[in-house]
Structure 1
Amino acid sequence: MIKAFNKALNILFIKFGKSAVYLDKEDNSHLITVIKRQPDQDLRFGELTVHCSPNLLEVRVSEVFTPKVGEKIVVDDETFTIQAEPEQDRHRLIWRLNVVKNYETKSGIIR
């Protein structure tokens, strides 16, 4: 059954994925494929509701074994930093990474 999920997953990443570079905390890099998502979310605080669209990147576990908060991913000349603990899907085939886009200014990079 896992082989069927793996095959379907590979087809999804071929069709919808983008090439990216994964940079770990030791500045080692390697090529990966990611799927970018910005799902709509409503966060509720008492009577206040805030609508947001977080940046999520999905990466195959076979390409990134243990992603960590603070590591970076470069997609289409945009750099993203992992800002929350990575989560795996229930089949443990995909990492869902909550990331924040880095913006570069003349004085340096801000998140």
Structure 2
Amino acid sequence: MTAAAMALDALFADDNVARDAVYTPEGGAPVLVRAVTRRADETTGFGDARILSETTRLDLRLAEIANPRPGDRIEIDGEAFLIQGEPVRDRERLVWTVDLRPA
């Protein structure tokens, strides 16, 4: 195991950074996973206008979820979300970042 993978495991195990989530692939069985939530506002330019929108993103470990897809469901603290758009892997191929929308 690489140093990056060990550090990542420590972050996902820390209750101050990550929390439990239930991942359900479309047509599959629910799986308990750890997730790091990021709910930042995003500014998008459109011509001369700037649009501010709330976003919900999650980081998920590749070791727990091999291939998340748009339409898969994630539930955190009783809130249900669907993955929208294509998930993106990090450079080290250890973490998926997924964009979510309310289910």
Question: Same fold by TM (over 0.5)?
Answer: yes
Q: Which amino acid aligns with 1:23?
A: T
- Quote the offset at 1:53 in angstroms: 2.4
Give the corresponding residue for 2:27.
26
CA distance in 2, matches of 1:35, 1:53: 17
Q: % of aligned pairs identical?
A: 31
SS at match of 2:2: helix
- Quote the offset at 1:12 in angstroms: 1.1
What's the TM-score once normalised by structure 1's chain length?
0.86
Give me the CA root mean square deviation: 1.1
**Structure 1 residues 48-87: aligned runs within 5 Å:** 48-87=49-88
Larger Rg: 1
CA distance in 2, matches of 1:24, 1:53: 24
SS at match of 2:92: coil
CA distance in 2, matches of 1:54, 1:40: 6
CA distance in 1, matches of 2:54, 2:91: 23
CA distance in 1, matches of 2:83, 2:54: 16
Moved over 4 A (4+): none
Give the corresponding residue for 2:9.
10
Q: Which amino acid aligns with 1:74?
A: E
- Quote the offset at 1:25 in angstroms: 1.1
CA distance in 2, matches of 1:49, 1:39: 16
1:47 aligns with 2:40: no
What's the TM-score once normalised by structure 2's chain length?
0.92
Where structure 2 has 5 or more consecutive residues not aligned to the other structure, the ranges are none
Q: Which amino acid aligns with 1:7?
A: M
Number of residue equivalences? 101
CA distance in 2, matches of 1:52, 1:42: 6
CA distance in 2, matches of 1:68, 1:29: 14
Give the corresponding residue for 1:108.
none
CA distance in 1, matches of 2:27, 2:89: 23
- Quote the offset at 1:52 in angstroms: 1.8
Where structure 1 has 5 or more consecutive residues not aligned to the other structure, the ranges are 103-111
